[in-house]
Amino acid sequence: MAVYSYNNINSNYRKERKFMKNIIKTDKAPAAIGPYSQAVEVNGMVYTSGVIPVDPATGETTGSTAADQAEQVFSNLKNLIEASGAAMENIIKTVVFLKDMEDFAAVNGVYAKYFPQPYPARSCVEVARLPKDVLLE
């Protein structure tokens, strides 16, 4: 596993580039459930942590179907992106983790409501298990 941080970059390059790290946090998206940030902005690029279908007000998982959970996930993501000062149309790449690839079409239907054309690049993979046993992240 390779981990890169702005401290790993040559110090002369850092001085020239002026790396600035800004932590994004909002009450309109679920709080982190571990030692990580909801999102981080570095030099105009926003990197989000995984977003799961948790109601930010209650901390409880919502929805029993993949489509219902997708609504909460993309609502949370939208709120997080907007807290960073960006918008959904600024997103260039997404990664969707599904517990069951049979939910692909249902999630696509919700996804298309939140992401305007031209759509971002996307990867979608089936995984064995997700935090809080949700159906997608």
Q: How far, CA to CA in Å, does 126 sit from each of 7, 13, 42, 70, 81?
A: 34, 39, 29, 15, 24
Q: How far, CA to CA in Å, does 83 sit from each of 3, 43, 51, 62, 80?
A: 26, 16, 14, 22, 5
- 124 is a catalytic site residue: yes
Options 40, 67, 88, 124, the catalytic residue: 124
The neighbouring-strand residues paired with 48 are 39
Residue positions annotated with a catalytic role:
124
